[in-house]
Chains A and B, each alone.
Chain A
Amino acid sequence: DQQVKQNSPSLSVQEGRISILNCDYTNSMFDYFLWYKKYPAEGPTFLISISSIKDKNEDGRFTVFLNKSAKHLSLHIVPSQPGDSAVYFCAATYAGGTSYGKLTFGQGTILTVHP
């Protein structure tokens, strides 16, 4: 049962253009969502998060949008840079249990930004 899905295994974008990575979830209990970036042979690095009480959160070039009715979130990177090339993971959790560390991850999307 894949509760968090990233249906695009890969995305290729030209430098300077917008990258849009998508994520869908099925568990309506999820109320906190995160995006992580991962380079090969390294651990994931936290990028940006959003609580279910918001529909948008922005941090520099990164913006996350949340559509609760559609159970969908997206990460926008503008402008895209070659250094953004990595695997991007969407993750979700809920306010049950000890804290927000018990994340359910999507399968990841490989982003390639071409110079």
Chain B
Amino acid sequence: SQTIHQWPATLVQPVGSPLSLECTVEGTSNPNLYWYRQAAGRGLQLLFYSVGIGQISSEVPQNLSASRPQDRQFILSSKKLLLSDSGFYLCAWSWAGRNSPLHFGNGTRLTVT
């Protein structure tokens, strides 16, 4: 079966500090990978998605970037965090090329102070 791991679960970072959130998927190959964010009181918003190693598409302009150095690894980064980057970050995967739902990790609660 497939599993998705995301860490850390919670993170408190000062403004201007860097960020690195990691996500890995097990039990599948060549998945589509996604980063979503849920800001306080709002729905989930797609930030990035990837259909293969080194292939990243950004959905909204922001202070964040994503990378996929390996087939089942997806990383969300920032060089300098802003207060507005606070939120709940979710990694997800889906089967490539199919009509299939997303499967989410347990998320990272990021608080920028």
CB < 8 Å: which of A46, A98, A105 contacts B32? A98
Taking a contact as CB atoms closer than 8 A, the residue among B9, B42, B90, B96 that contacts A44 in the complex is B90
A interface secondary structure, majority: loop
Distance from B25 Cβ to chain A, minimum over Cβ atoms (Å): 13
List the A residue with the shortest CB-CB distance to B99. Answer: A100
B46 contact from A46, A100, A103, Cβ within 8 A: A103
Given contacts A44-B90, A89-B44, contact A98 B49 (CB under 8 A): yes
Q: Which one, B11-19, B62-70, B75-83, B101-109, is touching chain A?
A: B101-109
Count chain B residues whose beta carbon lies closer than 8 angstroms to a beta carbon of A. Answer: 30
A contact residues, total (Cβ < 8 Å)? 27
Does A26 count as interface, using CB distance less than 8 angstroms?
no
> Which of B6, B45, B49, B106 contacts A101, CB < 8 Å?
B49
Known contacts: A46-B101, A102-B49, A103-B102. The answer to whether A41 contacts B43 by CB under 8 A is no
Determine the chain A residues whose CB is within 8 A of the CB of B104 once the complex forms.
36, 43-45
